[in-house]
Structure formats: structure tokens, C-alpha cells
Amino acid sequence: MNSKNKLWAPWRIEYILSPKDGNCFLCSREKSDNKKEDNFMVLFRGENVFVMLNAFPYNSGHLMIAPYKHVGDISLLDKKTLYEISDLTVKSKDVLCEAIKPDGFNMGYNFGSAAGAGCKEHLHFHIVPRWSGDVNFMAVLGDVKVIPQSLRDTAKILSEKF
């Protein structure tokens, strides 16, 4: 595999090395009260699923769509939940297009730790906005990823669009 086939994400080491308390971060966010100052990450709550910002994003606007049900296998979700994930994927893409105008997207699930799932016990769908030229010299030479906007500012912009 050459370097063109690799996705370098050295900024994610903070998450990888951080202590884990054993609680599911998706379940704790799903149950959080967004009125509190420190709980701004959940952007939208549907009937069966919710949309939230990724705390350790690959790019600004990196969203995750997760069911309220704590399952790690897509086969365990009912059709209503699967359809709602699909509907919110389209809605999320439209919100991101309107709010931050990306040139493209990476979207998908990671099933199991071998596939890169950071939380294999609670299924979630990733939507990563991409821009032409978003890999610049900082990431290539400096081993640093530049996220140009704070999570709080991104949350404010996107939550207004949902």
C-alpha cells in the first residue's frame, strides 16, 4: 500500500490514549440535556436516532448518526430505525452543504475494532465533509491536522439548520 491509500489521523491519538470509564459515550450523549453549557454536541434528536458532532473529528463538521438503541450490529435494528438513519443522512448532508459548503463527503459505518470502530458496541454512521485541498502541508509535513473551527462554533451553525 502506498501513501496515497492511507488516511493519517494523528490528532485522534488523544482519544485513543484517553482513559475510558466503561460507559458508552453515545448513550451518555443521547441522554444528555442540551440546555446545559457543556452538552452542545447533539445537534438533532429524532424518534429513534440522533445526530451529533464527533468530538475528535477528521474534519470540521464531522457528524455521527446513532440509534438510541445500544447495539453494535446493523442487523439488530428495525426498518423504522434504519430508514430514519437514511433520512437523517440525507438531511445531515443537506445541512452541511448549506452551512459549510464542502466539496464532497466520506460516509459510512465501521463494524468491529478491526474495521476501525472506536465504539464497536454502539453502531453509528459517520459523515465527514471534505474540501478540495483539505490535506495541506500541515498534515503532510507537520503530522498535524488543522481543524479550522471550534466544535462549539460548528455546533451552533449546524444546530440552527436542523
Active site residues: 124
Burial of 54 (0-12, 13-18, 19+ CB in 10 A): buried
Rounded to the nearest angstrom, the gap between the alpha carbon of residue 140 and the centroid of all alpha carbons in its chain is 23
Whole-number Å distance between alpha carbons of 111 and 24: 16
Whole-number Å distance between alpha carbons of 49 and 85: 7
Judge whether 60 and 129 are in contact, CB under 8 Å: yes
26's grid cell: 453515545
Locate cell 503532510: which residue? 140
3-class DSSP assignment, residue 128: strand
Secondary structure percentages of the chain, helix, strand, coil, to 5: 40, 15, 45
